[in-house]
Amino acid sequence: MQNPPIKSTQVVFSSDVKNMDEWARRTHIPLTTAEALGATYTRAHRWLQALRLQLIRDHNWSDAPTTDSRLLFSLETTSIWRSSVGLPAGPRLKLQLPVNASSFFSPERRIQWQMVFHSDIFESIRKLCPPVNDILGLLQCLLTGVVTVVFEENMPQGVYRTTRGLPPVSWINANESALVEIFGPSHFRALRKACNDTKAAFKLEVLPHPE
């Protein structure tokens, strides 16, 4: 009897500009200048702060003390996993975002962002916590290719890797007014078109099994 395929899903952070350029060609949304990208990210601050307040008010997060002025916010919460006696079964989780989009591309801060996006926050909590999922969707629109959702299925023929670079079109439609305010009408229409196109929003690779 054949074993069932092994499946896994993870959020992946990459600050490789070549990766962003590949997604720009795939989505037909050209890369802008660093200054324009920074201005768009700044317009998103208002929504990101509203999501921070939702996490504090409704989802048991709290502001984490920090002296780093480069951070837009720093939040923390207990692990969602519990021991047999009901205590948190893991370290506290920390969610941080920078004031400036350029911080995502700073080599000395790469590990900092990997620790955020490769953590249980985006692995598990985003599926249970709408504000975290909204942060992911917004970042995928702002910095397409920097934060992707990777689904791997280990099949007899090889590893099928599907990478999603943009949020679902249902999320785009549900947040139209906020997205238009940040991106403007024409860029929003380009985003919605790309999200509605499987070949633009997803990348499929078939990788050989490791030796």
pLDDT digit string, tens, across residues 99-132? 999 999 999 999 999 999 999 899 888 988 999 9
**CA gap 29, 107 in Å, rounded:** 25
> Could you tell me which residue, 92 or 138, shows the higher pLDDT?
138
Is the model's pLDDT at 82 over the cut of 80? no
Structure letter (DSSP) for residue 82: B
How far lies 98's CA from each of 67, 73, 79, 104, in Å? 13, 7, 23, 8
pLDDT in tens, 8-48: 889 999 999 999 999 999 999 998 899 999 999 999 999 99
Neighbours of 40 (CB within 10 A): 18
Residue 81 has pLDDT above 80, yes or no: no
CA angle 105, 125, 99 (to 5 degrees): 30
How far apart are the C-alpha atoms of 128 and 94, rounded to whole Å? 17
pTM for this model (two decimals):
0.91
Helix, strand and coil percent figures for the chain, each rounded to 5: 45, 20, 30
Which pLDDT band holds residue 1 (cuts at 50, 70, 90)? very low
What residue spans define the domains of the chain?
6-207
DSSP output for 92-112: PEEEEEESSGGGGG-GGGHHH
Report CA-CA distances (Å) from 32 to 29, 123, 174, 181, 207.
Answer: 9, 30, 25, 18, 32
pLDDT at 107: 95
Which amino acid belongs to residue 200?
A: A
The residues, any chain, with a CB within 8 Å of residue 170's CB and separated by 6 or more, are none
DSSP 144: T
